[in-house]
Structure 1
Amino acid sequence: MGALIAHIGADSLFTDLGLGQSVGLVHLLITEETTAVRPHAVAAVLRNITFTQERYDSFIELQEKLHQNVCRKRTLVAIGTHDLDTISGPFTYTAKPPGDIRFKPLNQAKEYTAQELMSLYKTDSHLRHYLHIIEDEAVYPVIYDSNGIVLSMPPIINGDHSKISLNTKNVFIECTATDLTKAKIVLDMMVTMFCEYCEEPFTESTEHIAQLLTKMCLRSEVMSDGEQIEVEIPPTRSDVIHACDIMEDAAMAYGFNNIPRTTPRTYTIANQLPLNKLSELLRQDLAAAGFTEALTFALCSQEDIADKLLKNISETRACRISNPKTAEFQVARTTLLSGLLKTVAANRKMPLPLRLFEISDVVLKDESKDVGARNNRRLCAVYYNKSPGFEVIHGLMDRVMQLLEIKPGQGNGYHIQAADDSTFFPGRCAEIFACGKSIGRLGVLHPDVINRFELTMPCSALDIDIEHFL
């Protein structure tokens, strides 16, 4: 099977597949106007394909499935398929004002302008879901052939002139996109899955290892030296990113249970990450102290870590989510306290007292890191009862220090001293120092904090940075 690939412009890719003989390469030209709305396009041709009703239905269904998942409901990629014999190249992908685009859309009896089509499809049960993608843009994307015939107005509708049928022999596939990588993946999947119905389909190696890899959809062949295998990763296996993935596929095809047991030639000893080991040990002892472990969301609302704790969001060093899907997940948490208080609120009907703790990571902005943020492992505990229970939280802190073999006192020991913190009740907050550095705070929460979390009883809390002890 022959494959001709050409790059036309910076963001286009065209592939012509089907016959082993040389065929004329058709061009898809991209104009600068598309950068304002949908800048990328890739295309391919399947030649001498044979459609049956089953294959045709599968071809259409594949497009719809891809539109819903990889294409993210056409927002990332929109697929158009056309009968190549009804149109002529080179093709032009451009963008024009809606009033300047006029064509006969798929399954319609007359021509419409783009503006008229947007109004027409507002009541269409299928297409109305995609109108929002371009309806507010000053220009709409459109693809023409060399005779000025409109192939499609992506991502909304194809033209009726070039629609495919059971008699179609040569298929022109175009994908317009806002994400070039996704466009290539989608096009490759379309071509790979239906190239087998062309006159000369894909072929496979007959060697044993190549056969095993072929079972896993990896095209392979033995090279001339007889010792190496050349493996081609198809577009449908985007999960293969390293040579070890190929070896894993070969082992899976062979059968893991069929591989004889051998002693490794290298001697290694696995060991737990020190921070995780410390976290696990502390979890066991905090549970033994009568506290119940909670596991809360790593994302939360800005209100949870700022307003409800009587803090200013600008002081929290919070990393914001650029496109949050819900108000509950706007930022990465900077404290474990808000999650525990929400857990207490959800379980306030349980018998008192409620003793909860969590040992997990928070995320803080840090310009010294290459990603601009860092994880910080913290221990947080709360005690909720009819009385504040400061002595309970203080005793828990003493127990944690005992487990860490840090004795009370200045210098290399630990001590607490009065501190002001808006989250805590005035005069009931202390800063914790260990080995000369501040590692956290404990105290009785401010009544306004209690109310904002919809609680009715006093609550005391402990918050410690445990990475300091490594």
Structure 2
Amino acid sequence: MPTVSVVRDRLFEELGRTYTDEEFDELCFEYGLELDDVVEEKVGGGGRIKQGEEEIATVYKVDVPANRYDLLCTEGLVQALRVFKRFDDLPRRFSPTEAQCVVQVKAETTEIRPFVVSAVLRNISLSPAAYQSLIDLQEKLHHNICRQRSLVAIGTHDLDRLEGPFTYEALPPNEIRFAPLSLEKEYSADELMTLYETDTKLKAYLPLIRDAPRYPVILDSKRRVCSMPPIINGDHSKITLDTKNMFIECTATDKTKALVVLNVLVSAFSRYCEEAFSIEPVRIEYLNYAGTIDSVDQTPHLDATEITASARYISSLIGVDLKAEEIAPLLNRMMLQVTAGSSSDELKVLCPVYRADILHACDVAEDVAIAYGFNRVKEQIPSFFTTGRSQPLNLLTDLLRKEALAQRGYTEVLTWVTVSHEENFTKMRRVDDNKQAVKISNPKSQEFQECRRYLLPGVLKTLRENRNVRLPLRLFEVGDVVRLEKNSSIGAVNERRLCAVHCGTSAAFEVVKALLDHVMLMLGVEPGDGHAKSTFRLDSEGCQDEAFFPGRRADIIVGGVNVGVIGWLHPEVLANFSLTSPCSAVEMLVEPFLDKSA
């Protein structure tokens, strides 16, 4: 859950009353929030000081639901709590004016970041606290719904320092030159990429566009750079406490999320306009490669969303019998307007644009439950009877861990589910045909590039990190690996595997063979021809696993199917994991031994 920091004194001033920490904690609980912490820390614009100065203030850390983007700032939180406590009626409706600004979107932007939405707030007056709240809200949105700016990037500008119409273009990096935010010197886009490589905040966003042949950029009519999303805004048009007309633009790869972000921003801060809650839309013109208008949009979209729900359905989810006329005032407390439906049981719920979390009647029911009070819902004995038990696969896994492996003197390890490509295949002398491992599309590091296909690499890495421990070392792991499966609904499936490694001068084949015999005995499988599910055999001639030493390896055959491999690890594999002592290992599937009727 996102955590919002709000200055206590400003919060109480806006709420119109003071609370003790315990009282505010209870208020948060009633609204479905959590007061996570109360701290003393330095804050900028703490309500009564100038921009750029700091003071020590009491700050509430409030955990809010991840989909309640409207609560990510003090303005939205105050509005929600005041309506919930019936201090205020339903918030005023937004009053859009005529569009005066135009943003023309060039066709080249489809190659990198195709969408833009925009709005203007006229005659706005920002106090130092409101200014800081605006900056904080942008950061929260960037980290939350914007997915670290990969889906949406927000830019706010002083409109009086710019001249429309604006253009949203995609240009080669060497054709973009401007002074970025907080700097006076001009840089080319290429130079900025180098400059921000060491910036603790901005370096994380560079990969989003760095390797693209064209970078997105928003320009005014004089070709002055407003922003180069998703990296940095221009210093020329930065907003200050003296800003009177604010131009907001959100560039995106996901237009729906961009509209949500824009709606949250304008709904929270349009209250500071001279005419409160007045929002000036912007005309967005999408051009084709010929330079003519292909389509036109006007943002933001401020029409309320209508959700139809029935009182009977809502009551069934909450467990309290409520009539439609009882539900309506409860929804009003959650800032949702209700009108009568076609029947006495039906409700038409109008959801304001900043309540993007309301998608279905079940979301309406959740708001009713919050307003009614979860503590008021009486406990009931369920109308059906059931008992809980372990999943058969997990039960079998626990038995193998405790009785088949741990009691034989093997120590359990837990390793990462994601590994590097080298560890998955190259270091194991196994060939990747691109049909086995599930790869991560944008890995953060080379250490975690794909899901593990086998357990053995993780156990060997653990051995590597414990080379100074006295030998012999006996390690095991029972866990899931992931393999591609085209017939699966998600294209991949989990496999439960068992892996054990004996490391030391006594790591002979017969050592792990004895362990395998014990495991098979626990599973009720006896040595035999391997044709029946109750017998197993070792096939040394058919084994082709290059991770093991030729002539000292064998496939494990049960019911005519290869379920694993056993043998001495190849010296090259040991060298690849910086191991100098011999190792013998066994790795096998667990699920073939599961009693499907259990």
User: TM class, shorter-chain normalised?
Assistant: 0.7 to 0.9
Residue in structure 2 matched with residue 333 of structure 1 by the alignment? 452
In the aligned structure 2, how far is the partner of 1:458 from the partner of 1:59?
62
Q: Which is worse superposed, 460-469 or 371-380?
A: 371-380
User: What is aligned with 2:575?
Assistant: 451
CA offsets, 1:80-105, max 9 Å, x none?
A: 22345676766432334567668787
Number of the residue aligned with 1:418 = 540
In the alignment, structure 1 residue 429 sits paired with structure 2 residue 553: yes
Aligned to 1:172: 247
**CA spacing shift, 1:278–1:152, aligned 2, 3 Å:** same
| Corresponding residue for residue 119 of structure 2 | 44
1:219 aligned onto 2:335: yes
In structure 2, the CA distance between the partners of 1:259 and 1:68, relative to structure 1 (3 Å rule), is closer
How far apart are the structure 1 equivalents of 2:178 and 2:424?
54
| Aligned 1:355-374 pairs, distance under 5 A | 355-374=474-493
Could you tell me how far apart the structure 2 residues matched to 1:338 and 1:22 are? 61
Which consecutive unaligned segments of at least 5 residues does structure 1 have?
A: 1-16
| Cα shift at 1:335 | 0.8
Aligned equivalent of 2:64 = none
- Describe the superposition over 1:255-293 as per-residue Cα deviations: whole angstroms up to 9, x where unpaired: 555432212223444454332232223223232333222
TM-score by length of 1: 0.78
- On the 8 A contact 1:210/1:229 being kept in 2, the answer is no
Which shows bigger deviation, 387-396 or 61-70? 61-70
Aligned residue identity for 1:374 = V
Map Cα deviations across residues 36-83 of structure 1 (whole Å, 9 max, x no partner). 333221112335644223212322343345446655665543322234
* 1:32 shift after superposition: 0.5
Distance 1:368 1:226, change over 3 A: closer
Q: Does residue 57 of the first structure (1) align with residue 129 of the second (2)?
A: no
State the partner residue of 1:4. Answer: none
Match of 2:98 among 3, 11, 24: 24
In percent, how many aligned pairs have the same letter?
Answer: 45
The answer for the alignment partner of 1:6 in structure 2 is: none
Give the Å deviation of 1:31: 2.0
Deviation track 1:309-334 (CA, whole Å, cap 9, x = no partner) reads 22223388223323322221122211
How many angstroms apart in 1 are the aligned matches of 2:566 and 2:167?
67
Segment of structure 1 superposing worse, 181-190 or 353-362: 181-190
Matched position secondary structure for 1:38: coil
Cα distance change on mapping 1:222 and 1:266 into 2, 3 Å: farther
Residues of 1 paired with 2:395 and 2:276: CA distance? 58
- For residues 377-416 of structure 1, the aligned pairs below 5 Å read 377-410=496-529, 411-412=531-532, 413-416=535-538
Aligned equivalents of 2:248 and 2:401: distance in 1? Answer: 57
SS at match of 1:401: helix
Partner amino acid for 2:226? S
Contact map agreement 1:154 1:176 (CA 8 A) in 2: no
Pair 1:154-2:242 in alignment: no
Q: 1:297 aligns with which of 377, 395, 416?
A: 416
- Give distance in 1, aligned partners of 2:515 and 2:414: 19
- CA distance in 1 between counterparts of 2:512 and 2:476 reads 11
Q: Residues 447-467 of structure 1: CA distance to partner in whole angstroms, max 9, x if unpaired? A: 332232222322221111112
Q: Within 2, Cα distance between the matches of 1:272 and 1:171?
A: 58
Q: 1:353 to 1:177 in 2, by over 3 A?
A: same
Aligned match for 1:281, one of 385, 393, 399 = 399
What is the DSSP-based 3-state SS (H/G/I as helix, E as strand, rest coil) of the residue aligned with 1:262?
A: coil
Q: Match for residue 9 of structure 1?
A: none
- Whole-angstrom CA distance in 1 between matches of 2:164 and 2:565: 71
1:3 aligns with none
Matching residue's letter, 2:581: M
* Unaligned stretches of 5+ residues in structure 2: 1-90, 279-303, 305-324
- CA distance in 2 between counterparts of 1:158 and 1:294 reads 48
Secondary structure, aligned partner of 1:313: coil
Q: Which position in structure 2 is the counterpart of 1:343? A: 462
Distance in 1 of aligned mates of 2:428 and 2:376: 59
Which residue of structure 2 lines up, in the alignment, with residue 14 of structure 1?
A: none
